[in-house]
Amino acid sequence: MIAACACLMGCAARNVTPMPMVQAGDETLDCAALARQIAANEEAAARFLHQDKKVEQANTARNVGSVIPGVGLFLVLSTDLSNEEQIKARALIDRDEQLHFLAKRKQCTL
C-alpha cells in the first residue's frame, strides 16, 4: 500500500517547466519572425491540447476499470495527474498573447 501511494505521489508531483511568456530578444523580432513564432506556437498548443484530451480519455477508462478486482488498484495508480499537456499548451497560448502585443506595437499585419 505504501509503495502504491509513493507511485501515485510521484506521478502527481512531476515538475513541468512551461515556456516563459516573455523571452530575451523578443523586442528584436521583426514582423516575419513574430508571425513564424505565433504560427509555430499555435500548432504546438493544438498538439498539446490533443494529447491532453487523449490523457483525459485514458484516465477516464482507468477510473472506470478500477472496479475490476485485482487489476483495479493498478489502473487507479497509473492515472496521469500531472496536467503537463494543459500547462504547456496554456504557456504557449500566453506566449502568443505577448507576441501579438509586440506585433501590434510594431504595427505588423499578421
Q: Which amino acid is residue 43, in one-letter code?
A: E
Give domain limits for the chain: 2-12+29-105
Judging by beta carbons within 10 Å of its beta carbon (0-12, 13-18, 19+), is residue 78 exposed, middle or buried? middle
Which triple of cell numbers denotes residue 55? 490523457
d(CA 66, CA 68): 5
pLDDT of residue 7: 53
Per residue of the chain (110 residues), what is the pLDDT tens digit?
A: 555 554 555 455 467 788 889 999 999 999 999 999 999 999 999 998 888 888 777 666 655 555 555 545 555 555 555 678 888 889 999 999 999 999 999 999 87
d(CA 31, CA 45): 21
pLDDT of residue 97: 95
pLDDT of residue 25: 93
